[in-house]
Amino acid sequence: MMDEKMKERFRRMFIVTSLAQCVYAMPGGECGGPLHIVLDDGNVNDEDLMYCLDYMKKDECIKNYDPDLIYLCQLCAKMLLELNEAEREKVVGYI
């Protein structure tokens, strides 16, 4: 039987998987949008997630992507950072 901590981890993984699927459904998010190197390429370490979060603050990103897509990608990246790398790999594998 799962303990409460494990249930919470699975709940978080489900939520971030759902967010990532929403990214792909949005215009401009077909290849993962500003989170492409994470969601499409599977680079799930902290440095890659931080790189994406920094990129989403830059004019280049703001100019090329819809603000709603950027916001959704920011939420997704921040939630991925709360997971360990094995959990992140599972999430990216599900989408």
Please tell me the least confidently modeled range out of 3-12, 23-32, 46-55.
3-12
Residue 48 has pLDDT above 90, yes or no: yes
Element housing 75 (H / E): helix 67-81
CA atoms within 13 A on the CB side of 16: 27
**How many residues would you count in the chain?**
95
User: 21: domain range?
Assistant: 4-94
Q: Six-digit token pair at 54?
A: 């920094």
CA 64 vs CA 33, 55, 91: distances in Å:
10, 11, 26
Q: What is the pLDDT of residues 54-95, one digit of tens each?
A: 999 999 999 999 999 999 999 999 999 999 999 999 999 988
Tell me the residue ranges of DSSP E strands in the chain: none
Residue 24 has pLDDT above 70, yes or no: yes
Q: Phi, psi at residue 90, to the nearest 5°?
A: -65, -45
For residues 5 and 33, what is the distance between their CA atoms, to the nearest angstrom?
A: 31
For residues 64 and 94, what is the distance between their CA atoms, to the nearest angstrom?
A: 27
The whole model's pTM is what? 0.92
> Percent of the chain scored above 70 by pLDDT?
99
| Structural domains in the chain (count) | 1
